[in-house]
Amino acid sequence: MIFQQLFEPDSSTYTYLLACPETRQAMLIDPVLDTVARDLDVLQKLDLKLRYTLDTHHHADHLTGARVLRERTGCKVAYPEVEKPECADIGVSEGQTFKMGSIALEPLFTPGHTAHHYSYLLDNGTQNMVFSGDALLIEACGRTDFQGGDAAILYQSIHEKLFSLPDETLVYPGHDYEGRFVSCISQEKARNPRLGGEKTLDEFVTIMNGLDLPYPRKIDFAVPGNQICGQCPPNVPKEYRGPCDLHEQG
């Protein structure tokens, strides 16, 4: 398998490139509009054909690159079936393996950060990797105070779907804000300050309810834009319009 972890610094978002070496087909998990040019350059240098974009959920902190990547490459846009927008081509669901060449992802329904969040599990032949989106982060987890978020549901999702995976499963999160790249299930079960050390549901809910996080600076345009596969809505503020203007001009 060909694998790269790519980083977008403004929203601290990780995009994951997975590719089949036999077919040269590739997918991008959680692509960002701001880094479409970079992603296309990586694909060209590796002699890969983009077949799919695949988002974990409708992001509140960035616009997805799905629509523009489809325009540039002819790839298919995939979303969790439970929130698949009309603009998407494919819906993915738990229990239905998502295959591309030699790569087979197992979708895991992990709501709580948002009502429709998905994670993706991959056995690469040597070890398990889980692309956990914003559900489980490195020594953290996604916030639960908007987009149908629910702390109790997130606790259940993480314990039943992620903490039940083998301890050595590598955790590749949707974001990291402190320069970290990867964790594993055993580390998060032991060290995650919100979830680790066998914290109870009540303890977790208390922690999440007390975070007092600021209002997401891009949510008012990112969520509606992502509901149409990353198209820039009219209300994008001037300071964030650079990627929109670039791609709208072709």
Tens-digit pLDDT profile for residues 151-173: 999 999 999 999 999 999 999 99
pLDDT of 89 above 70: yes
**Strand spans (E) along 165-208:** 170-173, 183-184
Q: Note the pLDDT of residue 248.
A: 78
Q: Is residue 66 part of a domain?
A: yes
Q: Is residue 2 part of a domain?
A: no
Name the helix (H) or strand (E) containing 156: helix 151-157
CA distance 210 to 150: 13
Domain CATH number, residue 197: 3.60.15.10
Q: Is residue 250 part of a domain?
A: no
CA distance 154 to 204: 10
Q: Note the pLDDT of residue 250.
A: 52
Q: Is residue 39 part of a domain?
A: yes
Among candidate residues 135, 149, 233, the one with its CA nearest the CA of residue 183: 135
Full domain range(s) for residue 108: 11-242
Q: Is residue 135 part of a domain?
A: yes
Q: Is residue 218 part of a domain?
A: yes
Q: Is residue 31 part of a domain?
A: yes
Q: Is residue 181 part of a domain?
A: yes
Give the HSE-up count for residue 129: Cα atoms under 13 Å, Cβ half-sphere.
19
Q: In terms of pTM, does the model score above 0.95?
A: yes
Dihedral angle, C-alpha 231, 235, 240, 241, nearest 10 °: 60
- Count the domains in the chain: 1
Q: Note the pLDDT of residue 249.
A: 61
Pairing type for strands 183-184 and 98-100 reads: unpaired
